[in-house]
Structure 1
């Protein structure tokens, strides 16, 4: 199959507010709504009606978020839309001309953004901004058909290709008379698991402006995916007839609201009935088999029991320029999470504390995928030069920090099988590697095997607001189990894979240190070992002589220049301490 010159589906503007609002955490359903610069009234109507929070938060397991995607022609339009975007945090923009000819590009950009950023989302609903969606009814259908891996909508079996008019398609782009079966483009649902295959197929198929026939027909067939017809989805002629008969439409809306009210009552009834018989609920843990309320201690103990089925499959793919980084002599492998753009910190680490003369110590930087394509190009070049970068196929964000560290643990398990310890260290920390190596080699006992070592944090409080916020649905208790401060900590390599496997059976939390060294460690009954000299978040600024005199092992919040200064002191013949 020949790869063609294709449209750029990565040409969206980076919007951290949108990412945080929509994908952190990923909702069950993301609604992608096609909008235009001048359609502010339509966007407000949708926000106030069928995407009102009353309908999108009916159930904590079936959350709904939305994105309006639009093209901006110039800087004036960009500035004008900025205010609305700051308020609602629901606009994805790109620098294409918003026209019918670019409709396919528009949808693919939106689907690509969701695919890369909302990795735990189950479904995507594409909708035009003149549609009305009964969200509760859609959620009910999806929840009752959880294993559907098909594009869902109103199926067109033998759509005729138009050679004239608005929907015309040139012979050289699509020479056939009939489209493959597709769904009408007013609204349709795509499981997120199918998005990548459709986007990949677009690299090999010439693009046409008839978006629904192209994406759900041509690309869908190329990707060997199937359709599911649902008569409840609208189609273009049906929508036109409805708008010409406002009385009929208003009666239909009244009927719809009655259906919604009945639906909500049914949900509440089934919810009560389901939980009255539930022995253990992963969210509430309220009743035991005899119908007696469990104590707080019992609920707490139950939480750390691994779930029977996987709820967070570990599917991270990673790229490394040097799988032979660790050899048979490696004793300590250092994994360093780093933002893609933090090249200055990485260079400072390479030239200071990671530049040990001992063959027993190796290091690798862990990065994700940036929404800035130039940063991704730079990291690939850097990786080719230094061969010490491991890049995962997830978005580089705070929410994915836990995923980043799990990737590092899994890589260490697979490729550093002779290592005894894994040191996790942030890229703003300083590690006295010669002294740490000395401590481990002279003081290690059997008790250190199968433990996590560092600065122990006891009874860490769970934050419900701010950057470290965790919802009660994910973790319902006020305090975390004991865990190691995440700036730097050691994990014995023989439990690295057990921690990764445990993460597949526990609810995901973005608070990496509390999750990995606390919750997961407790779930696999790993011990903690407090060690003096390790740093923590609120640690005092380090003094170089503390490292020279072996009073400290690690420090945090250091600039590259400070790292270089301390390293110079440690290696000086006359440190003046």
Structure 2
């Protein structure tokens, strides 16, 4: 797997926290973690980024795209272009946010259970989420950017995974569409048609009550990964450990909390994919 972590150029501390926690685990799982962003205006910051890249060798900076929140879709699609050229032998291509805790052994185990050749795995939002139209909202879109008032089902950007064979289909479809900047909704909400996938079971966050056999032929499996959009508080140590051991992803985890979770004795089994 090649795992692209969307990062802010100046946030070296968050990148270091990943390298020393679940990023270290990735090395035992045959997963390559890279951190990506666009171009910056500051020469001082660019020098710091260049030095970090030389030291760790895991920085992807796309100089033809200015780094900004509203350029995230273009940045992720440019990573897909890079992956198509450089990662043909990789089984999976994934994108994650840098404030995410990822249980990589459980993620891989979940992916191995998927029988379909074409799928998108992640933490799914159900169809019908409203498009924000108020400019004061952090994720607002104008009608010029997206005409529809509702999103289809789509994955949270905290983590989503596709087979490498689907990268070209995603890029080819994106090239025919008007791009908007909500990258997770754009990339996973309108998945490309991939032939010969057959009938599938749709799973949304492993909620078996909502899983159903599709009546019509569907191209892509939507596979739900267990997780939380924020770390539950007021948990006993035992309850927290149980929760983390069965969750693939946890969102809104800062650098300090990443290290604290990594140091929990009950999570030692998450530190390696090797038996």
Given the two structures, how large is their TM-score scaled by the length of structure 2? Answer: 0.79
CA distance in 2, matches of 1:556, 1:526: 29
Describe the SS at the equivalent of 2:90.
Answer: coil
Residue 367 of structure 1: aligned partner: 37
Say whether 1:463 aligns with 2:129.
no
Residue 10 of structure 2: aligned partner: 341
> Aligned-pair distance for 1:489?
1.2
Which one of the candidate residues 222, 226, 247 is aligned to 1:552? 247
Q: Deviations over 1:249-293 (max 9, x none)?
A: xxxxxxxxxxxxxxxxxxxxxxxxxxxxxxxxxxxxxxxxxxxxx
Given the superposition, is the C-alpha separation of residues 535 and 491 from structure 1 closer, same or farther in structure 2, using an over 3 Å criterion? farther
As a proportion of its length, which structure holds more helix? 1
Residue 212 of structure 2: aligned partner: none
Residue 252 of structure 1: aligned partner: none
> Aligned-pair distance for 1:470?
1.1
CA distance in 2, matches of 1:476, 1:572: 47
Given the superposition, is the C-alpha separation of residues 395 and 429 from structure 1 closer, same or farther in structure 2, using an over 3 Å criterion? same
Which one of the candidate residues 85, 90, 113 is aligned to 1:419? 90
Describe the SS at the equivalent of 2:140.
Answer: coil
Describe the SS at the equivalent of 2:146.
Answer: coil
Which one of the candidate residues 443, 454, 465 is aligned to 2:122? 454
> Aligned-pair distance for 1:499?
1.1
Counterparts of residues 36-55 of structure 1 (less than 5 Å): none
Residue 47 of structure 2: aligned partner: 377
Counterparts of residues 483-498 of structure 1 (less than 5 Å): 483-498=154-169
Say whether 1:433 aligns with 2:130.
no
Is contact 1:410–1:500 with CA below 8 Å preserved after alignment?
Answer: yes
> Aligned-pair distance for 1:522?
5.0
Given the superposition, is the C-alpha separation of residues 504 and 533 from structure 1 closer, same or farther in structure 2, using an over 3 Å criterion? same
Is contact 2:5–2:98 with CA below 8 Å preserved after alignment?
Answer: yes
Q: Deviations over 1:16-37 (max 9, x none)?
A: xxxxxxxxxxxxxxxxxxxxxx
Say whether 1:529 aligns with 2:226.
no
> Aligned-pair distance for 1:403?
1.0
Counterparts of residues 196-215 of structure 1 (less than 5 Å): none
Which one of the candidate residues 53, 67, 78 is aligned to 1:396? 67
Residue 185 of structure 2: aligned partner: 514
Residue 541 of structure 1: aligned partner: 232
Which one of the candidate residues 352, 376, 380 is aligned to 2:21? 352
Residue 303 of structure 1: aligned partner: none
Given the superposition, is the C-alpha separation of residues 410 and 546 from structure 1 closer, same or farther in structure 2, using an over 3 Å criterion? farther
Given the two structures, how large is their TM-score scaled by the length of structure 1? Answer: 0.39
Residue 245 of structure 1: aligned partner: none
Is contact 1:333–1:361 with CA below 8 Å preserved after alignment?
Answer: yes
> Aligned-pair distance for 1:572?
7.3
Q: Deviations over 1:510-537 (max 9, x none)?
A: 0001101013x1566752423241344x
Counterparts of residues 469-484 of structure 1 (less than 5 Å): 469-484=140-155
As a proportion of its length, which structure holds more strand? 2
Q: Deviations over 1:131-162 (max 9, x none)?
A: xxxxxxxxxxxxxxxxxxxxxxxxxxxxxxxx
Given the superposition, is the C-alpha separation of residues 503 and 472 from structure 1 closer, same or farther in structure 2, using an over 3 Å criterion? same
Describe the SS at the equivalent of 1:380.
Answer: helix
Is contact 1:547–1:553 with CA below 8 Å preserved after alignment?
Answer: no
Describe the SS at the equivalent of 2:23.
Answer: coil
Is contact 1:402–1:510 with CA below 8 Å preserved after alignment?
Answer: yes
> Aligned-pair distance for 1:440?
2.4
CA distance in 2, matches of 1:407, 1:547: 35
Describe the SS at the equivalent of 1:371.
Answer: coil
Higher relative contact order (CA closer than 8 Å, sequence separation 6+): 2
Is contact 2:92–2:163 with CA below 8 Å preserved after alignment?
Answer: yes
CA distance in 1, matches of 2:174, 2:225: 28
> Aligned-pair distance for 1:427?
0.5
CA distance in 2, matches of 1:420, 1:367: 23
Given the superposition, is the C-alpha separation of residues 390 and 534 from structure 1 closer, same or farther in structure 2, using an over 3 Å criterion? same
CA distance in 2, matches of 1:440, 1:551: 15
